[in-house]
Amino acid sequence: MLLLPVLYLLGNGYLFWKIWSILHSLPLWGKVTCSILFWLMPFVLFGTMALRSMPMSYWFMSTLHNIGSLWMVFLLYMVLLLLLFDVLKQFLPFIKSPILYAFTITMTLFLYGYINYRIPRIEKINIVLDKTSNRSQPLRILAISDVHLGYGTGVAQLQTYISKINEQQPDIILIMGDLIDNSIVPLHQAPFKETLSTLHAPMGIYMVPGNHEYISGIGECKRFLADTPIRLLCDSIVTLPNGVQIVGRDDRSNRQRKTLEQLLVQTNDIHPVIVLDHQPYELSHINSLGVDLQLCGHTHHGQIWPLSLLVESMYEQSHGYHKWSNSHIWVSSGLSLWGPPLRIGTHSDIAVIDLQ
């Protein structure tokens, strides 16, 4: 764990050294000012996280959150590109301003990443199960995860998401955790409850907690959700009028949560079983138990390249839909995101699953 903060400080030091080399023409006060501003940036996001539970201005905290999280991605790409140009200029002597090239490419990636983030993909999936149901028509499930409401995802963006969701005319909406970001405080400062109440699904809206509901305080999150149309499932099961069974697992943050076997013993094998679990672990085991459909989130598919490559190596299934031998499994890349409002090399998604 110590390696990450060390790399972060080294990356900031390397970038500062590169920037310092082009500040030689500034007077002393200019160099001092630039130095102070530079070294404030690496700690802005940590400051917002430390203050997340304090009732401060929503606009102020949201601005700090975005600045701090964008700095981390800015640092990542600037360091990678500057290291690349340091190598290239040994063979291509015409490269005279590597920091200018790196900055231009990084800003272009930021523009692309922001536009890409604002346009989530609608992933349509058709699944046929050899199970009985009390309904002849397919069940339209809309599945989302990782909205991270708070200082990063505000009411305006939530309204956009809900419009897209309601356009799909789902029978049921399933939320695989991390609806709330790092604190419940900002959700009381803006009309989040009223906006969530505009979600519409005749068979209900169900959600399981994610790790961020525990970061925010699971008790406070439960009280907040009680005033919305969303029903939170924590190691509990609900049976729809058509016989489909929704098994909602508590998050792994709760080390006393029930095992999947303990929950499945309460279900009826004749009717379809859908399991909601925020974090996509032990998928091979889930497949061996014959779960019909498992829905997860959490990974964000890494959100930013090359972190997506790391995430792909960490999970059996890091994102998207896959038909295993016994189970259908969908891992959402997340409808919104954590931290910077950017999607570079990945996509936000909404899954529309027609279950027959």
Mean pLDDT split into 10-residue runs, the chain, 356 residues = 82 88 81 86 84 83 90 94 86 78 94 94 93 78 96 94 96 97 92 96 97 95 96 96 94 94 91 96 93 96 94 94 95 93 95 94
Task: Verify that 153 and 242 share a domain, yes or no.
Answer: yes
Task: Verify that 176 and 66 share a domain, yes or no.
Answer: no
Task: Verify that 218 and 299 share a domain, yes or no.
Answer: yes
Query: Which CATH number does the domain housing residue 294 bear?
Result: 3.60.21.10
Task: Verify that 44 and 189 share a domain, yes or no.
Answer: no
Tell me how many domains the chain contains: 2
Task: Verify that 73 and 217 share a domain, yes or no.
Answer: no
Domain boundary among 68, 88, 118: 118
Task: Verify that 259 and 158 share a domain, yes or no.
Answer: yes
Measured in degrees and rounded to the nearest 5, phi and psi for residue 120 equal -70, 150
Task: Verify that 343 and 260 share a domain, yes or no.
Answer: yes
Task: Verify that 129 and 105 share a domain, yes or no.
Answer: no
Task: Verify that 140 and 197 share a domain, yes or no.
Answer: yes
Task: Verify that 150 and 225 share a domain, yes or no.
Answer: yes
pLDDT score recorded for residue 31: 81
Domain boundary among 83, 118, 153: 118
Task: Verify that 143 and 78 share a domain, yes or no.
Answer: no
pLDDT score recorded for residue 218: 95
Task: Verify that 86 and 185 share a domain, yes or no.
Answer: no
Domain that holds residue 207: 122-355
Domain boundary among 118, 141, 165: 118
